């Protein structure tokens, strides 16, 4: 299997904190790979590290290999927007508020292709058509458009230079459910047409199950489970994945009960980070960090056996 992006043993430290502690993942060409986990587990930072957009003061080590080149520590400006693009979480704030949508497309297109302003506008109109938006959106300012329209614009912008990898960082989180569905369908459809790989960062397991080929479950800066979307999400082996799935609200469940995982993400210095919140915790879990075996990092996968 060929590899488009491979992240190997990525560690990110910010000050004294180490929010990402050795994440390894792989995205094949044209593959949709989910990176799931709750807030604070390091999924967004992992995505930003690929583009070299970590916040000031953050330090990354390990390897980020794209198309055979190790990117970490390199200037990645030339590949941003051209080979790898990102669709952000909040479409409402992700666009420059004082520039028209068209102006923002032109800026990006001209930075990468050096084409004329007129050609860039024509290309921008074409891109908007591909995300089912009318040309007049080009002359609109971001505050005049809805979140769904803006996210379509974002996707169109992401595709402007035919990237090989699109990182979708919680791309549907800020949208309401029906709009989120439309955006997902659009992303899938465009992915089939253009064949780019997708790193789909989300906390929404239902979405991950629907569109991903494979998923990585992150907890406290480590991959705790990986595998095909159906294997992981239909037959979870790590207790964290099970708990996450259990926390999904279900229409067929008895009324009045909503499950959650007690506590919040903590980084253990010793042993398994999930130990404090795990229902099947044993003594071994508190002293020894479980290594990944068969795609699951747990001493006792599959629950109390």
Partner 1 sequence: MTRFLLRRAATSALVLLGVMLATFLLARVVPASPAVAYIGPKAQPADIARVERELGLDQPLHIQFWRYLSDMLTGDWGDSIGTKQPVLQEIGTRLPATLELLIVAMVVAVAVGLVLGVIAARRKGTKLDHLIRLLSIGGVSMPAFWLGLLLQVVFVRALGLLPPTGRLGPETPFVSPITELTGLYTVDALLTGNMTAFGDAFLHILLPAATLAAYPAGVVARMTRATMIETLSQDHVRTARAYGLAERTVTWRIALRNALPPVTTVFGLTLAYSLTGTFFVEVVFNWPGLGQFAAQALLNVDYPAIMGVTVLGAVGYVLVNLVVDLIQARLDPRVGLA
Under rule CB under 8 A, residue 97 binds partner 1: yes
Q: Binders of partner 1 among 240-269, rule CB under 8 A?
A: none
Residue tagged 């003061």 (tokens): 57
Measured distance CA(19)–CA(202) in Å, rounded:
17
**Is 274 a residue that touches partner 1 (CB under 8 A)?**
no
Q: Does 94 bind partner 1 (CB under 8 A)?
A: yes
Residues ≥6 apart with Cβ < 8 Å to 182:
148
Contact between 141 and partner 1 per CB under 8 A: yes
Please identify, using beta-carbon distances, which residue of 140 and 292 lies nearer to partner 1: 140
Q: How far is the CB of 50 from partner 1 (least distance, A)?
A: 10
**In whole angstroms, what is the distance from residue 12 CA to residue 61 CA?**
6
Q: How far is the CB of 25 from partner 1 (least distance, A)?
A: 19
**Span of 74-82, 122-130, 230-238, 281-289 interacting with partner 1 by CB under 8 A:** 74-82
Question: What distance in Å separates the CA atoms of residue 211 and residue 242, rounded to the nearest whole number?
Answer: 19
Q: In the numeric block, which tokens belong to residue 219?
A: 């907890």
Judged by CB under 8 A, which of 111, 188, 231, 281 binds partner 1? 111
- CB nearer to partner 1: pick between 94 and 223: 94
- When asked if residue 117 is in the footprint of partner 1 (CB under 8 A), the reply is no
Q: How far is the CB of 139 from partner 1 (least distance, A)?
A: 11
Residue ranges of alpha helices (H) inside 52-116 are 91-94, 101-113
Q: Contact with partner 1 (CB under 8 A): which of 73, 78, 195, 235?
A: 78
R_g (Cα) of the chain, nearest Å? 20
**β strands within the chain, DSSP E:** 5-14, 17-27, 32-36, 58-66, 69-70, 84-87, 165-169, 197-202, 214-219, 222-228
108 binds partner 1 (CB under 8 A): yes
The yes or no reply on residue 107 touching partner 1 (CB under 8 A) is yes
- What is the DSSP code string of 253-281? SPTT-----SS-----SSS-TTGGG-TT-
State which of positions 143-162 bind partner 1 (CB under 8 A): 143, 157
List the one residue out of 46, 83, 28, 58 whose CA is nearest residue 201.
46
215, with CB counted inside 10 A (0-12, 13-18, 19+), is: buried
Stretch of 97-105, 221-229, 233-241, 289-297 lying at the interface with partner 1 (CB under 8 A): 97-105
Q: Which of 49, 86, 128, 145 binds partner 1 (CB under 8 A)?
A: 86
Name which position in 45, 51, 186, 201 contacts partner 1 (CB under 8 A): 51
Which element (helix H / strand E) includes 208? helix 205-211
Residue 6 is a binding residue for partner 1 (CB under 8 A): no
Residue 136 binds partner 1, judged by CB under 8 A: no
**Binding flag, residue 82, partner 1 (CB under 8 A):** yes
User: Segment near partner 1 (CB under 8 A), from 78-86, 189-197, 242-250, 267-275?
Assistant: 78-86
Stretch that binds partner 1, among 96-104, 183-191, 205-213, 264-272 (CB under 8 A): 96-104
Burial zone of 301 (CB within 10 Å; 0-12 exposed, 13-18 middle, 19+ buried):
buried
Separation of alpha carbons 127 and 153, rounded Å:
9
Residue ranges binding partner 1 (CB under 8 A): 51, 53, 77-82, 85-86, 88, 90, 93-99, 107-108, 111-112, 141, 143, 157
């Amino acid at each position: 299997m060929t590899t488009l992006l491979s992240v190997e043993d990525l560690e990110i430290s910010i000050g004294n904190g180490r929010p990402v502690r050795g994440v390894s993942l792989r995205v094949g060409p044209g593959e949709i790979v989910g990176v799931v986990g709750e807030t604070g587990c390091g999924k967004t930072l992992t995505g930003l590290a690929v583009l070299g957009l970590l916040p000031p003061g953050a330090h990354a080590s390990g390897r980020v290999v794209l198309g055979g080149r190790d990117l970490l520590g390199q200037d990645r400006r030339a590949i941003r927007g051209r080979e790898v693009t990102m669709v952000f979480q909040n479409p409402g704030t992700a666009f420059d508020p004082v520039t028209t949508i068209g102006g923002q497309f032109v800026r990006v297109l001209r930075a990468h292709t050096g084409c004329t302003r007129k050609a860039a506008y024509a290309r921008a109109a074409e891109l908007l058509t591909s995300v089912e938006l009318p040309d007049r959106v080009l002359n609109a300012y971001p505050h005049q458009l809805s979140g769904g329209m803006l996210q379509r614009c974002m996707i169109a912008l992401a595709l402007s230079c035919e990237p090989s990898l699109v990182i979708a960082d919680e791309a549907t989180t800020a949208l309401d459910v029906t709009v989120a569905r439309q955006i997902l369908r659009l992303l899938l459809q465009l992915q089939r047409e253009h064949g780019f790989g997708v790193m789909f960062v989300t906390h929404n397991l239902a979405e991950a199950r629907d569109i991903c080929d494979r998923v990585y479950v992150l907890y406290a800066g480590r991959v705790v489970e990986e595998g095909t979307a159906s294997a992981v999400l239909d037959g979870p082996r790590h207790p964290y994945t099970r708990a996450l799935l259990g926390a999904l609200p279900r229409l067929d469940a008895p009324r009045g009960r909503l499950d959650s995982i007690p506590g919040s993400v903590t980084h253990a210095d010793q042993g398994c980070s999930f130990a404090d919140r795990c229902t099947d915790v044993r003594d071994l879990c508190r002293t020894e960090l479980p290594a990944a075996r068969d795609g699951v990092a747990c001493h006792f996968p599959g629950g109390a056996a």
